[in-house]
Structure 1
Amino acid sequence: MAVANRTAISRALDFSRLSSSFVRTFSSSSPSTSSSNPNASPTSSQTKRRKKKKNLFEVVQFLPNWGVGYHVAKSHWDEISYQITKINLYKSGTHGKAWGIAHKNGTPIVEAPKKISGVHKRCWKYIASLPHSGESKTSAEVQTS
């Protein structure tokens, strides 16, 4: 008897979840009628959306060893880039500190790495055209705190 009640309750919960998600899709997909411009089509508002740019950690998270040895630059920089030498990540994985060697037109400006400023700003890009250094994984410095 208890097993039958339990299965009936679980079926009712599954149905309520299904129906609530079904209603949610219809309510979110309908265009709003209270727009400021009545002549604007709903597709024009969708094309105005810009792709959210990435901060440094979101750019390098899929590179091997969190991008240590790879070149990154801010999107508005033409000739300047940084070769990442060390990354200190916070627990979230999207915040932290980074150090690197500054490069101009592919040649190092200085030999000593310096702290990269503006790593949390959403304007970073990966520079694929510059070769990354083939550092071994034992010498790479990735820290999490």
Structure 2
Amino acid sequence: MAAAASSRDVAAKAVGFLRQGAFGIFRALSSSSSAASPAAAAAVETAKKPKRRKKKNLFEVAQFLPDWGIGYNMAKNHWQGISYKITKINLYKDGRHGKAWGIFYKDGLPAADAPKKISGVHKRGWRYIPVSKKKLENAPRKEEQTLAA
């Protein structure tokens, strides 16, 4: 009985080999070089096209900043002169979702005193806004009053 099963396996392998060989010969004879070149050229063009980079949500931007971006300014890419200074982040387990609170800034000045919940934190297109040296130099400095006794 084992000999019959092994002979069936050998026969099946031989038939499979013949089938593959016959199809290989048929493919070689049926395809011409002129028909294959436009298809190959189209495949090469699509392979060269760079893949579009996925934009990041607020948490994917904040994960590389110290303390998950608390104290840093963030804004959506299409916002002009508007940003949030992150004050609190409640992160879910996966590290890419959660809730965030921050102080709303308009034209570099705080528009609100209290932090508010930031909407749209899961949407793509957030960026970190570095504080420029020009803004620091132009900012009004508090003069310390010394008591003369």
Report Cα offsets for 1:51-95 as digits up to 9, x if no partner.
Answer: 110000000001110000000000111110000000000111111
Identity %: 61
Indicate the structure whose relative CO is greater, using CA pairs within 8 Å and at least 6 residues apart: 1
Gaps of 5+ in 2: 1-37, 134-149
**Aligned counterparts of 1:51 and 1:62: Cα–Cα separation in 2:** 18
Q: Normalising by structure 1, what TM-score?
A: 0.60
8 Å contact from structure 1 (residues 106, 130) kept in 2: no
Alignment partner of 1:55 out of 45, 54, 57: 57
| Map of 1:81 onto structure 2 | 83
**More helix per residue:** 2
| Map of 2:94 onto structure 1 | 92
1:65 aligns with 2:61: no
**Aligned counterparts of 1:115 and 1:130: Cα–Cα separation in 2:** 25
Aligned residues: 95
Q: Indicate the SS of the match to 2:42.
A: coil
Shift of 1:41: 5.2
| Map of 1:40 onto structure 2 | 42
**Aligned counterparts of 2:45 and 2:120: Cα–Cα separation in 1:** 35
Larger radius of gyration: 2
Q: Normalising by structure 2, what TM-score?
A: 0.58
| Map of 2:104 onto structure 1 | 102
Shift of 1:49: 1.9
RMSD: 1.9
**Aligned counterparts of 1:130 and 1:71: Cα–Cα separation in 2:** 11
Residue identity opposite 1:118 in structure 2: G
- Map 1:2-17 onto structure 2 (within 5 A): none
Q: Residue 96 and residue 44 in structure 1: after superposition, are their counterparts in 2 closer, same or farther (change >3 A)?
A: same
Q: Indicate the SS of the match to 1:103.
A: strand
